[in-house]
Chains A and B, each alone.
Chain A
Amino acid sequence: MSPSTNQITNQSTSQSSNSSAVLFQFSDQRLQYERRTLFDNLSLSIAKGERVALIGESGAGKSTLLKALREQRPDQVAWCPQQPGLVPILSTFHNIYMGALSSHSLAYNLVNLIKPLPGALSIVEPIAKQLGLEQHLFSSTDKLSGGQQQRTSIGRALIQQRPIFLGDEPVANVDEYQGQALLQLICQGHDTVVLALHDIAQALSICTRIIGLQNGAIVIDAPSDQLQASDLAGLYGAS
């Protein structure tokens, strides 16, 4: 009980919006990754409308936590994993459209695979434009740069039009300026956003709440306007 009280108080202060419906909830939970326990007793809750950044060294448990979050609300989550998992020989159009497969019939999907259909194009094109991919819409993704592939992966998340965005380093492969714009785009399209980020300045400027992870424990959990970059520096290389 005691570790969770700390968080709840923190969370109530971090809550800048008026909505307080809880979307994700862990209390004293154990999380494992490939049979290795990463979190012994995790207690955490995330409410609707929050923009959360997960900060920590690699191996601290960010990806494991994101996966656990996704399992709690699989139907509401737009998922953007660290490895874009694109199908290399298919076009950017198809790779973005893949996020919308479940909202169309099988026959429609198969015809669209052979010849892009106007209806599908009218959904994908605006997203590609927002992401600066309109020039590459019909290039296969194996011909794209790492940054363009990552934007395609974000496109696949955006097309799902889900309320929650979970992203594991979604802008790691693009430059700082573009990264900022992409993160803003993501925040515009989703009520609730949880991002694993390594860029502290980005996290502070985009997110409303920062969760610092170290060795499978939450060591910082505070609203971003109460934190300085120096407060978070200790998460890296301290141990």
Chain B
Amino acid sequence: MPLSAPNKTSSPAPQSAASAINTSAGALRTISFWFAICALLCLLLVDIDISTTDPWAEMGLMTAGALSPLVWSWPTLLSSLANTFAFALQGVTVAAIVGFALALGYRFTLVRAFCAFIRSIHELFWALLFIQVAGLSSLTGLLAIAIPYAGTLAKIYGELFEEVDPAPSNNLPRGESRPLSEFFYSVLPLAWHSMATYTSYRFECAIRSSAILGFVGLPTLGFHLETALSDGHYSQAAAFFYALLLMIGTLRLWLHKGLLPIYLVAVFYYLPPQATISWQLLVRFVTEDIVPAPLRGQALLSGETINNVAQWINLLWQQQIWPGLLNTVLLGQISLVFTGLLALALLPLNSSLFIQRRWKRGIGDSVLILLRTLPETLLAFIGLLILGPSMLPAILALGIHNGAIIGHLLGRYTEELNLRADASRGVTLYFYEVLPRIYRQFLAFLFYRWEVILRETAILGILGIATLGFYIDSAFETFRFDVALLLILVSAALNISVDQFARYLRQRLQLKTVPESL
């Protein structure tokens, strides 16, 4: 036998330890694999059946309605549009001011924890809480948006301040230190542009949130949308639906920096934040209603009370907390992976590497923008009407909305790639050149979205899907505010844990840690 190696290497097994597989892609592949496996297992555990007898018929009716929008009352339509806009603008304005103040102290753990806490509670849950004391008032709408958005904006502003080029502030003269002045001169100007971009993106989100506040009774577009859809008045629903799309779609045309003061004065004049708060009711709510039932009027440390509380929690855990948590996590995991898959499938729509013609790409990107404009809750509600109650509409809604957001961003990101002149084309280009190059960015986007997806998963419960929101909504309906608060805190804890875990994964996989516009 000749000593030389045989021509055909039958196995990829390397001859020496040095050429063992050691690729950066490996770690990313492993993590993706386990996420997908988890999602598949979850899929076995949840109900994704289509329970309506004839989904096509319902869809036909909806399509017919969508093609024949009908405004039954212009004043109603216009006032609900104005309310939606007013809550969103007021909420984001207050959130930006409070968020900025919080961001100044973002290096303190306590401030960070506080921000994480207030943003981990969904705006609809905040609304349900405030409705108990301030009723369906303009103050409730403002606070429901302002509080969680302040937490989010504080985080983003705080991270932007940390990311700013340190050279300008390092070059300031040493000696007597004026930290706040130095901040305004050497940090804020550098972060300003990103802050403005991000805040305006958040405003678009706030319009969606504001519209959805109608689902719990506030007089925004969502209120009329939900009513019309539930009653099967699809033509009327279509009118409100198009109004929402139109408002978000044309934001860039009329929401100019210079006009902002005018809009602000207008919305505060049109809808001054006020509520008739009965102080008696407020005191009762805080000192009695939200106190766990077995603790009310009892000596705190008696053995019997502790025993009762333990029983109370135990029962709640078995009947509500555990099933709610489980369903939220299962649905969240499936939706996360589905979102990822959709994003990867949709990104070519907004990439000149795959669609060369400008006008064709314009159409592709418009589809993505349209899909991301639709609020998940609304999509899920429509899905429930068509497909019947199961997890399926929720998965589709979360996947479509979030997948379109990430797909749009990834498509734009591919424009920055520097490919060789002799790069391949089509599917091969996608898998060999584009996907490996964008994968880190993709995972970073997806992990950012994880917390958002989970928050939304919980909230979809108010539509009847048995996630935490379902039990929270039921508790509010039966005036068991102590249970509602406990469940809200559980969902907050879940969101914070997932956010921390995603943060850990991003650091471990060396993904980008500052979001662009998520």
Task: Assess the A113–B9 pair: CB atoms within 8 A.
Answer: no
Task: Assess the B19–A98 pair: CB atoms within 8 A.
Answer: no
For B426, give the chain A residue with the smallest CB separation.
A106
Question: Of A87, A115, A122, A139, which is within 8 A of B9 by CB?
Answer: A122
Q: A70-B421, A138-B19 are in contact. Are A109 and B428 (CB under 8 A)?
A: yes
The answer for the CA separation of A94 and B428 in the assembled complex, in Å, is: 12
Answer whether residue A91 sits at the interface, using C-beta atoms and an 8 A cutoff: yes
For B6, give the chain A residue with the smallest CB separation.
A122
The answer for the CA separation of A113 and B26 in the assembled complex, in Å, is: 12
Residues of chain B within 8 A of A109, CB atoms compared: 428, 431-432
Answer whether residue A185 sits at the interface, using C-beta atoms and an 8 A cutoff: no
What is the number of residues of chain A that contact chain B, defined by CB distance less than 8 Å?
34
Residues of chain A within 8 A of B16, CB atoms compared: 135
Answer whether residue A9 sits at the interface, using C-beta atoms and an 8 A cutoff: no
The answer for the CA separation of A83 and B431 in the assembled complex, in Å, is: 21
Kindly name the residue among B9, B10, B26, B439 whose own CB sees the greatest number of chain A CB atoms within 10 A: B9
For B422, give the chain A residue with the smallest CB separation.
A79
Task: Assess the A134–B19 pair: CB atoms within 8 A.
Answer: yes
Question: Of A90, A101, A102, A122, which is within 8 A of B25 by CB?
Answer: A90
The answer for the CA separation of A142 and B28 in the assembled complex, in Å, is: 14
Question: Of B7, B12, B22, B24, which is within 8 A of A116 by CB?
Answer: B12
The answer for the CA separation of A89 and B28 in the assembled complex, in Å, is: 9
Give min CB distance, A35 to chain B, whole Å.
Answer: 18
Residues of chain B within 8 A of A88, CB atoms compared: 24, 436-437
Residues of chain A within 8 A of B439, CB atoms compared: 89
Question: Of B12, B24, B419, B440, which is within 8 A of A118 by CB?
Answer: B12
Total number of residue pairs linking A and B with CB closer than 8 Å: 91
Answer whether residue B21 sits at the interface, using C-beta atoms and an 8 A cutoff: yes
Kindly name the residue among A94, A116, A138 whose own CB sees the greatest number of chain B CB atoms within 10 A: A138
Give min CB distance, B449 to chain A, whole Å.
Answer: 21
The answer for the CA separation of A111 and B148 in the assembled complex, in Å, is: 46
The answer for the CA separation of A89 and B9 in the assembled complex, in Å, is: 25
Task: Assess the A118–B18 pair: CB atoms within 8 A.
Answer: no
The answer for the CA separation of A212 and B379 in the assembled complex, in Å, is: 66
Please, what's the 1-or-0 string for B410-437, where 1 marks a CB less than 8 Å from any CB in chain A?
0000000011111110011001110011
Residues of chain A within 8 A of B424, CB atoms compared: 98, 101-102
The answer for the CA separation of A87 and B23 in the assembled complex, in Å, is: 11
The answer for the CA separation of A137 and B427 in the assembled complex, in Å, is: 24
Please, what's the 1-or-0 string for B22-37, where 1 marks a CB less than 8 Å from any CB in chain A?
1111101000000000
Answer whether residue A232 sits at the interface, using C-beta atoms and an 8 A cutoff: no
Please, what's the 1-or-0 string for A85-107, where 1 marks a CB less than 8 Å from any CB in chain B?
10111110010001001100010
Please, what's the 1-or-0 string for B384-427, where 1 marks a CB less than 8 Å from any CB in chain A?
00000000000000000000000000000000001111111001
CB interface residues, B 178-215, toward A, < 8 Å: none
For B11, give the chain A residue with the smallest CB separation.
A118
Answer whether residue B44 sits at the interface, using C-beta atoms and an 8 A cutoff: no
Please, what's the 1-or-0 string for A126-141, where 1 marks a CB less than 8 Å from any CB in chain B?
0000000011111110
Give min CB distance, B124 to chain A, whole Å.
Answer: 40
Answer whether residue B258 sits at the interface, using C-beta atoms and an 8 A cutoff: no
Q: A110-B431, A135-B18 are in contact. Are A91 and B421 (CB under 8 A)?
A: no
Q: A81-B420, A85-B420, A98-B432 are in contact. Are A91 and B23 (CB under 8 A)?
A: yes
Residues of chain B within 8 A of A137, CB atoms compared: 14, 19
Residues of chain A within 8 A of B420, CB atoms compared: 79, 81, 83, 85
Task: Assess the A106–B428 pair: CB atoms within 8 A.
Answer: yes
Please, what's the 1-or-0 string for A118-159, where 1 marks a CB less than 8 Å from any CB in chain B?
100110010000000011111110110000000000000000
Give min CB distance, A134 to chain B, whole Å.
Answer: 6
Residues of chain B within 8 A of A142, CB atoms compared: 24
Task: Assess the A113–B431 pair: CB atoms within 8 A.
Answer: yes
Task: Assess the B12–A85 pair: CB atoms within 8 A.
Answer: no
Task: Assess the A139–B436 pair: CB atoms within 8 A.
Answer: no
The answer for the CA separation of A91 and B424 in the assembled complex, in Å, is: 18
Task: Assess the A85–B436 pair: CB atoms within 8 A.
Answer: no
Answer whether residue B20 sits at the interface, using C-beta atoms and an 8 A cutoff: yes
Answer whether residue B508 sits at the interface, using C-beta atoms and an 8 A cutoff: no
The answer for the CA separation of A101 and B423 in the assembled complex, in Å, is: 10
Answer whether residue B252 sits at the interface, using C-beta atoms and an 8 A cutoff: no
Answer whether residue A67 sits at the interface, using C-beta atoms and an 8 A cutoff: yes
Give min CB distance, B306 to chain A, whole Å.
Answer: 55
Answer whether residue B8 sits at the interface, using C-beta atoms and an 8 A cutoff: yes
Question: Of A85, A90, A134, A143, which is within 8 A of B419 by CB?
Answer: A85
The answer for the CA separation of A98 and B422 in the assembled complex, in Å, is: 10
Residues of chain A within 8 A of B10, CB atoms compared: 118
CB interface residues, B 450-468, toward A, < 8 Å: none
For A70, give the chain B residue with the smallest CB separation.
B421
For B420, give the chain A residue with the smallest CB separation.
A85
Task: Assess the A87–B431 pair: CB atoms within 8 A.
Answer: no
Residues of chain B within 8 A of A94, CB atoms compared: 432
Where the two chains meet, the residues of B that have a C-beta atom closer than 8 Å to any C-beta of A are 7-12, 14-16, 18-26, 28, 418-424, 427-428, 431-433, 436-437, 439-440
Q: List 15 A-B contacts (CB under 8 A).
A: A79-B420, A79-B422, A88-B436, A88-B437, A89-B440, A98-B424, A101-B424, A109-B431, A110-B427, A113-B431, A113-B432, A122-B7, A138-B23, A140-B22, A140-B23
The 5 closest A-B pairs by CB, nearest first: A140-B23, A85-B420, A89-B24, A138-B21, A89-B25
Q: With A106-B427, A122-B7 given, name 10 new contacts (CB 8 A).
A: A85-B419, A87-B433, A88-B436, A89-B28, A90-B432, A90-B436, A106-B428, A109-B432, A118-B11, A136-B18
